Structure 1
Amino acid sequence: MKTKLPLISIVIPCFNDPYYIIESVQSAIGQTYINKEIIVVDDGSNLETKKTLASLESRIDLLITQENKGLSCARNEGIERSRGEFILVLDSDDSFDTEFCEKAAEVLLSSEDIKIVTCYAKRFDERGLIDIFKPVGGTIKNFLFFNAAIGNSLYRKKDWKRVKGYDEMMTQGYEDWEFYIRLMAGGGEAYVIKQPLFHYRQKKESMRIDANKIRHDLQKYIYSKHSMLYKDHFNLFIDHLLKRIETEEKEKIKNTKRLEFKIGQFILKPLRYIKSLINK
């Protein structure tokens, strides 16, 4: 007798995205993993988006509508009302290859020690493929200084409950990284499927781009919130900071040399021109 596969709840928060949400929902519907439910959370979207979501409602399992509260809150609301043992959050402008859930669920079922299943990601824009992003996965040590998994990964709902979900104070980005830190702090591993099964749309304006502009403030918040964890890994923390300072100093030197070269070229150009006239 075959054991019934765990239910995967695919939670898709949406805010003012009337176009790409269709592709995102379609990628969830098209998953080869059969035992799944699809939940879309309308986080206070505009009228155009609401019309699109209404047209999709018959193709999904649940449409939740709330006033705009931010990505973390929308994810938590969707997960809270989900029925699945496994959770996959999916941003409304991104998508997965059809086999991701099937492959990721198999990995998650293989060991309780595996807390997160992620994969390689194709980053693209309106011109086409940019590159293949390869998260490193690993243990909590790999998550201390950057997100070692993509934000759209598979994990257990019981672990989401254990760490009390996404931090709803984090409305400007990096909320998935901070969530993973809490998820991994008690031990376990983030497993990386070494295939580009995720499609990340890189837009000119996005929450991720805005987050990178204030990354120092967001990092400070994370370091402060998890100060005891960073104290426990003090030597790693210091090594990381020193390496970052060294890298930034080397980059400054390179930029200075480039600037000096350009200034030198600018000054020498008219002199060379005068010299060429004299030698004629």
Structure 2
Amino acid sequence: MEQTLISVIVPLYHGEKYISKIVPQIETAKKVAGNLTDIELIFINDYPDGKIAEDFAGHEVEIKLFNLKENRGIHGARVEGLGRSRGEYVLFLDQDDKILPEYFSCQLYKIGKCDAVVCKLIHENKQFYDMRMPFESVINKDYMFSVRNSIISPGQVLIRKDAISEVWKNATLSNNGADDWLLWICMMAEGKRFALNNEILFEHVVEGNNASINTNYMINSEREVFEIVSENGLLSKDELNCLSITVKNVVDEHIKALCKFQKMFFLYNEWMKLQEQDIYISDYLKQLEYNDIAIYADSYIGKRLYHNLKKDGLNISFFIDMNAKYLREDIPIYTLDEELPEVDIIIISLVEEENSIMERLSYKTEAKVLSITELIRQMKARIR
């Protein structure tokens, strides 16, 4: 029986260190997929000043590496890799992503007669799809056009090569960040069918070189998506109007997120300034005889607070989070709808909507409830 060839395309940018991490993942996934699946792994080095020379002899998958003479951005690098690929199926991976061993076997089984298959993923130590974004409700044309890009990374998607839109291949974005959204919009507008795979087969890891964390790039890239879709007549007038509103709303969301991150930055700054004076949250809580602690929100700050207090020997009994069933931690996680165990204090680790959360908690517990912002303020007041 003829083997199914999958082309895995990985753009690199300052990414030589990731090669040794990606290759074993692909080889393991190939072994699990069995003899009926063959893999070619294509690295596209999009950093012309850092030419990579690697010897890939002896590996269990065919590996190719191409050094580009000029920087083309992640979209251009993906298109370059696609042009050099031979596979019936294509997987676009970011250099810092991770796939599970069952990725190829499970995705090939689920794709059926569809043009692409989307799996679930882990992002920031939790399932990305939750109560606010149910998987079955958001991977579709209407959501893509009227709300936002609901596929967080192209690594979730195994695609039939012949289903990839010519518009996407020929209209390369000059701004990094939203080329995957453009691809899904093009494919869905052209009537391509997406199968859903409820298995978690992929982990999206965001590090410093990832364009999705650069707000300016993302805003410009999303606006460029609209221009390309409009110029190529992919959508009806009503659909185009809808997409125009969506792009504006997504840009507004980026700006709101910047405001939130600004608040987080100032909070972290005050926290670190206290530590520079040998003033620690753990000591303050011990002085107040708060021995059993819970943290509201398994957030960026919540995680840092948890590990900080745990390192200093305090007992963190549980997290409270609306998406408890989607999260992964080494202590229990409850929702506000559940009965909460008794603790001495609950610290709200969010920098927005603290008052409404505090009010809800007041109906659920006799424990002291304090926001991280107020906690830092009280500690600062003690040293004045």
Do these two structures clear the TM 0.5 threshold for a shared fold by scoring above it? Answer: yes
Would the aligned equivalents of 2:44 and 2:67 in 1 still touch at CA under 8 Å?
yes
The range that moved more, 200-209 or 9-18, is 200-209
Would the aligned equivalents of 2:89 and 2:160 in 1 still touch at CA under 8 Å?
yes
Cα distance change, pair 170–120 in 1 and its aligned pair in 2 (3 A): farther
Cα distance change, pair 226–243 in 1 and its aligned pair in 2 (3 A): closer
- Alpha-carbon distance in structure 2 between the residues aligned to 1:91 and 1:179: 15
Identity of aligned pairs, percent?
A: 21
- Shift of the alpha carbon at 1:19? 2.1
1:231 aligned residue? 237
2:381 aligned residue? none
> Given the alignment of the two structures, is residue 148 of structure 1 paired with residue 154 of structure 2, yes or no?
no
Cα distance change, pair 99–174 in 1 and its aligned pair in 2 (3 A): same
Once superposed, what is the RMSD of the aligned Cα atoms?
A: 3.6
> Given the alignment of the two structures, is residue 80 of structure 1 paired with residue 80 of structure 2, yes or no?
no
SS of aligned partner of 2:190: coil
Of the candidates 28, 31, 35, which is equivalent to residue 30 of structure 1? Answer: 28
Where do residues 43-192 of structure 1 align in structure 2 (5 Å cutoff)? Answer: 43-44=46-47, 46-47=49-50, 50-51=52-53, 54-56=54-56, 59=59, 60-67=62-69, 68-108=71-111, 110-111=112-113, 114-124=114-124, 129=125, 131-134=126-129, 138-144=139-145, 145-149=147-151, 150-152=153-155, 153-160=157-164, 162-165=166-169, 167-192=171-196
SS of aligned partner of 1:233: helix
Q: What are the Cα deviations for residues 146-169 of structure 1, in whole angstroms up to 9, with x where unaligned?
A: 222232221111122644527423
- Alpha-carbon distance in structure 2 between the residues aligned to 1:11 and 1:238: 31
- Alpha-carbon distance in structure 1 between the residues aligned to 2:210 and 2:110: 31
Would the aligned equivalents of 2:9 and 2:42 in 1 still touch at CA under 8 Å?
yes
Q: What are the Cα deviations for residues 62-102 of structure 1, in whole angstroms up to 9, with x where unaligned?
A: 22221222111211111111111111111111120011111
- Alpha-carbon distance in structure 1 between the residues aligned to 2:154 and 2:49: 25
Would the aligned equivalents of 1:13 and 1:40 in 2 still touch at CA under 8 Å?
yes
Aligned length: 245
Would the aligned equivalents of 2:13 and 2:209 in 1 still touch at CA under 8 Å?
no
Q: What are the Cα deviations for residues 25-84 of structure 1, in whole angstroms up to 9, with x where unaligned?
A: 22112212332211111223554x725xx1446534322221222111211111111111
> Structure 1, unaligned stretches of length 5 or more?
259-264, 270-280
- Alpha-carbon distance in structure 1 between the residues aligned to 2:6 and 2:143: 26
- Shift of the alpha carbon at 1:170? 3.5
- Alpha-carbon distance in structure 2 between the residues aligned to 1:233 and 1:218: 19
- Alpha-carbon distance in structure 2 between the residues aligned to 1:209 and 1:184: 26
Paired AA for residue 4 in structure 2: P
> Given the alignment of the two structures, is residue 4 of structure 1 paired with residue 2 of structure 2, yes or no?
yes
Paired AA for residue 159 in structure 1: A
The range that moved more, 229-238 or 154-163, is 229-238
Q: What are the Cα deviations for residues 207-237 of structure 1, in whole angstroms up to 9, with x where unaligned?
A: 1101x34544333222233235262336855
- Shift of the alpha carbon at 1:255? 6.5
SS of aligned partner of 2:195: strand
2:13 aligned residue? 15
Cα distance change, pair 93–232 in 1 and its aligned pair in 2 (3 A): same
Of the two structures, which has the highest relative contact order with CA contacts closer than 8 Å and spacing of 6 or more?
Answer: 1
> Structure 2, unaligned stretches of length 5 or more?
130-134, 260-350, 356-373, 379-384
- Alpha-carbon distance in structure 2 between the residues aligned to 1:20 and 1:13: 11
Give the TM-score normalised by structure 1: 0.72
Give the TM-score normalised by structure 2: 0.54
Cα distance change, pair 190–85 in 1 and its aligned pair in 2 (3 A): same
1:262 aligned residue? none
